[in-house]
Amino acid sequence: MGDDDSFLALLVYVDDIIIIGPNLAVIDGLKQFLHGQFKFKDLGHLKFFLGLEIARSSAGLVLSQRYYALQLLEDSGYLACKPAAEPMDAKIQLCADEGSPLSDASQYRRWIGRLLYLTITCPDITFVVHKLSQFLTKPREPYLQAVHHLLRYIKASPGQGLFYYANSSIQLKAFSDADWSSCPDSRKSMTGFCIFVGDSLVSWKSK
């Protein structure tokens, strides 16, 4: 790290490395240094990383998990299903002791795990996935039906993702909401927030 022009950021996962910085000459210098320490393959501009797909243009950058979402739909048998317009039926209120327990909870848990990873680029399903993850200990039939509905929603736009503008302002904006004492089991509040840098969504959470 030095002045702004020589800043570098590295993301390392096992044997995969992403190098980010504003100066290509500095990036090339780091790659030459790394190449002198060990063998590695330079794949050029970032296009795919751990299920994330990256598309670049002069307008900005798009992050999506289209291939990951399609693979999830195929593995669950919902690749040819009828799409749903919303991630969850607004009339349904899931409770901890409602419905029959599932005879095999392992499949439900696997789906929730994979759906949690999909929330990296799909903030629109975050609330539903976090809600369904509350029932991992003793999943029941209504929760499984809600997962099926969510899969149908994902089928409607599997390539949906996040767009980061190339010329956005650096103004920080945040929005939050709370549904007071609405949880039927604990009477706790349901809250959520999202944070933007300019017009680009950078952080969100539903709890």
92/145 Cα distance (integer angstroms): 11
Residue 55 sits at φ, ψ, to 5 deg, of: -120, 135
- Of all helices (H) and strands (E), which one includes residue 108? helix 106-118
pLDDT tens-digit map of 39-92: 888 888 889 888 899 998 889 999 999 999 999 999 999 998 999 999 988 777
Distance CA 36, CA 56 (A): 30
pLDDT tens across 117-130, in order?
999 999 999 989 98
Within a domain: residue 96? yes
User: Domain range spanning residue 108?
Assistant: 64-162
Residue ranges in 13-89 assigned as alpha helix (H): 24-37, 66-76
Q: With respect to residue 176, please indicate whether it lies within any of the assigned structural domains.
A: yes
Q: What is the pTM of this model?
A: 0.81
Answer yes or no: do 75 and 151 share one domain. Answer: yes
> Within this chain, do residues 105 and 150 fall inside the same structural domain, yes or no?
yes
Cα–Cα distance for residue pair 27/39, rounded to 1 Å: 17
**Does residue 68 lie in a domain region?**
yes
Same-domain check for residues 83 and 148? yes
Task: Give a yes or no: residue 178 inside a domain.
Answer: yes
